[in-house]
C-alpha cells in the first residue's frame, strides 16, 4: 500500500500544490488529469460555504480547495492505518486507491448553493450525489478512472452513495462520511480558517489521525484512548461552527431569502434546473438576477446579489429551550408549509409590501445531522467503549438532538416592515 504513488508523494514533496494554511498536496500525473477535467475545474468557481461570505467576507474558498484538502487527509489517514495490521489485512491496494479517488471526487456533484436548495426538498430536484453519479459515469472522468486507476466508475459512485456490500466498503464509506471523517476534518478547519474564527481550528488533526484504528467488527473507524480529547474537540468544533457560523442569524436570513427565491422561480417555470447545475457561482448569481426581473422575487435577488445588500431582519427566534412550542411548530416542517405560514403572518400584520416578499421563515430541515457514535479502544485492556460513555461533552451532544441545540427556528421580515411586524405580532 505504501508504494501507491500518491502516498510516496506525501514524503517526497515533488509535484505538490499548496493550499492554505501552507499545506502541500501531492499531485501525481493521474491526479492532475482528474483535476484538469471540466467537471472538476468547475469546483474552482463554486464557493464552499456560499452565502456565509455575506457575513464573513473572507469565506470565499472553493469546493476545489476543499476537495484537495480531503484528498490530502485521505493520504494521511492511509499512511497512518498502513501501520495497523488489521487494516492492512482487510484493505487491499485497490481498495486504498478507491478511497483516494473517491475522496478527491466526493464533491463533484455540487452546484452553486446546493445544500440550502436541497434542504427545501423540491420534488424533481435531485440530490447532489445523483448529479455526482452523472458526472462520474458520463464524462471524461469515467475513462480516466478505468485507464489510470483500474477502477470502474460505479465503484466510486457506490462509495459516494454509501452503498456498502462488504465490510471493507462500509469501512471506506465511514472514512468518507461518518462521525469522524476526512470531509468534516477538512471543512471544519478550512471554513474556520477562511471565516476568521477560531472554533474549527481548535481540533487537533494530527493527534486525531494518529489515534485512528479499526472498531471491534473491523468495518468502521475507532480511536485509541490517546485520541479522546482530539475527538471531543472535533465534535465540539462542529457544534460551535454550526451555531456561530453556518446558522448565524444573518447567514440564515440570506439563506431564507435564496431558498424562497429559488422555490418561487422554480415553481413558476422561470428556472431551468438542468441548466442551473452546470453554472459557476457567478453565472448562477447573474441567472437569479436576470430571471427574477419584473417578478415579485426581484427584491430578493437584488437584496442578495445587487449593488446594495439588503438582508431581511430577524423579528423572532425560537429554540427547543426557549418557546419549544413555537420551535416544534416550525422545525422539520415541509418547506411549502413554511411558505404558507410566512404569508399568513404577513397578511395578519397588514404589511405594505407584496405578501411573498414580506416575511420568511427559516427552520431546521427535515434531514438531521450525522449522529455521534464512535468507540475508543483501550489497548492494554483490549477493550472498546463508546466515546459518549467516557465523555460528558460527547454524551450531551449524542443523547440530545444536535440540530435542536445548534440550530434555531427564525422568522425574518423585509427591513422596511420588520419593526412594524415585530411590534404588532411578536411584541414580548
pLDDT tens profile 196-243 = 999 999 889 999 999 999 999 999 999 999 999 999 999 889 989 999
d(CA 328, CA 338): 12
pLDDT tens profile 383-407 = 999 999 999 888 877 656 677 778 8
Residue 114's CATH number: 1.10.3210.10
pLDDT at 261 over 70: yes
Same structural domain, 181 and 285: no
Domain closes at, from 197, 214, 234: 197
d(CA 304, CA 298): 10
d(CA 393, CA 376): 15
Same structural domain, 284 and 154: no
Domain closes at, from 164, 197, 230: 197
pLDDT band at 350 (very low <50, low <70, confident <90, very high): low
d(CA 331, CA 252): 14
| Total domains in the fold of the chain | 2
**CA 187-210-61 angle, 5° bins:** 15
Residue 293's CATH number: 1.20.1250
Same structural domain, 39 and 101: yes
- Any domain includes 204: no
Same structural domain, 282 and 180: no
Same structural domain, 283 and 420: yes
Domain closes at, from 182, 197, 212: 197
The average pLDDT across 14-32 equals 93
| More confident position, 129 or 13 | 129
pLDDT of residue 1: 66
Buried b (16+ CB within 10 A) or exposed e, 262-291: bbbbbeeeebeeeebbebbbeebbebbeeb
- Any domain includes 385: no
- Any domain includes 55: yes
Structural domain range at position 189:
5-197
Asked if 288 and 303 count as a contact pair (C-beta separation under 8 A), the reply is: no
- Any domain includes 174: yes
pLDDT tens profile 162-203 = 888 899 999 999 999 988 899 999 999 999 999 999 999 988
pTM: 0.94
pLDDT at 334 over 80: yes
d(CA 47, CA 51): 9
- Any domain includes 208: no
Same structural domain, 276 and 185: no
- Any domain includes 225: no
pLDDT of residue 420: 76
pLDDT band at 425 (very low <50, low <70, confident <90, very high): low
pLDDT at 76 over 60: yes
| β-strand pairing of 359-362 with 409-413 | antiparallel
| More confident position, 372 or 24 | 24
Amino acid at each position: 500500500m505504501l508504494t501507491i504513488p500518491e502516498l510516496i508523494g506525501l514524503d517526497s514533496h515533488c509535484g505538490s500544490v499548496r493550499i492554505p494554511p501552507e499545506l502541500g498536496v501531492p499531485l501525481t500525473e493521474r491526479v492532475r488529469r482528474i483535476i484538469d477535467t471540466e467537471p472538476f475545474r468547475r469546483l474552482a468557481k463554486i464557493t464552499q460555504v456560499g452565502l456565509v461570505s455575506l457575513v464573513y467576507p473572507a469565506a470565499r474558498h472553493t469546493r476545489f480547495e476543499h476537495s484537495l484538502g480531503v484528498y490530502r487527509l485521505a493520504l494521511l489517514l492511509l499512511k497512518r492505518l498502513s501501520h495497523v495490521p488489521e487494516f492492512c489485512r482487510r484493505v487491499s491496494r485497490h481498495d486504498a486507491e478507491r478511497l483516494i479517488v473517491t475522496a478527491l471526487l466526493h464533491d463533484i456533484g455540487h452546484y452553486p448553493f446546493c445544500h440550502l436548495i436541497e434542504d427545501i426538498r423540491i420534488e424533481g430536484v435531485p440530490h447532489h450525489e445523483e448529479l455526482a453519479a452523472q458526472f462520474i459515469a458520463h464524462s471524461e472522468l469515467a475513462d480516466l478512472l478505468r485507464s489510470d486507476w483500474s477502477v470502474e466508475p460505479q465503484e466510486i459512485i457506490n462509495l459516494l452513495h454509501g452503498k456498502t456490500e462488504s465490510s471493507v466498503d462500509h469501512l471506506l464509506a465511514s472514512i468518507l462520511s461518518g462521525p469522524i471523517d476526512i470531509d468534516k476534518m477538512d471543512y471544519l478547519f478550512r471554513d474556520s480558517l477562511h471565516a476568521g474564527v477560531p472554533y474549527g481550528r481548535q481540533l487537533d488533526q494530527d493527534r486525531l489521525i494518529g489515534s485512528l484504528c479499526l472498531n471491534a467488527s473491523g468495518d468502521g473507524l475507532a480511536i485509541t484512548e490517546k485520541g479522546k480529547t482530539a475527538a471531543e474537540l472535533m465534535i465540539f468544533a462542529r457544534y460551535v461552527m454550526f451555531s456561530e457560523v453556518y446558522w448565524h442569524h444573518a447567514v440564515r436570513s440570506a439563506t431564507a431569502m435564496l431558498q424562497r427565491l429559488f422555490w418561487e422561480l422554480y415553481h413558476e417555470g422561470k428556472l431551468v434546473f438542468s441548466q442551473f447545475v452546470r453554472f459557476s457561482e457567478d453565472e448562477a448569481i447573474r441567472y437569479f438576477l436576470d430571471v427574477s426581473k419584473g417578478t415579485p422575487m426581484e427584491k430578493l435577488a437584488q437584496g442578495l446579489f445587487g449593488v446594495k445588500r439588503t438582508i431581511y431582519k430577524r423579528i423572532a427566534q425560537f429554540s427547543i429551550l426557549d418557546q419549544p412550542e413555537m420551535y416544534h411548530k416550525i422545525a422539520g416542517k415541509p418547506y411549502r408549509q413554511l411558505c404558507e405560514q410566512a404569508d399568513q403572518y404577513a397578511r395578519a400584520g397588514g404589511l405594505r409590501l407584496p405578501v411573498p416578499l414580506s416575511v420568511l421563515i427559516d427552520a431546521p430541515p427535515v434531514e438531521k445531522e450525522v449522529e455521534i457514535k464512535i468507540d475508543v479502544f483501550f489497548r492494554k485492556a483490549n477493550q472498546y467503549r463508546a466515546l459518549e460513555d467516557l465523555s460528558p461533552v460527547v454524551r450531551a451532544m449524542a443523547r440530545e438532538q444536535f440540530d435542536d441545540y445548534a440550530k434555531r427556528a427564525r422568522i425574518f421580515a423585509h427591513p422596511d416592515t420588520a419593526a412594524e411586524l415585530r411590534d404588532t405580532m411578536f411584541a414580548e
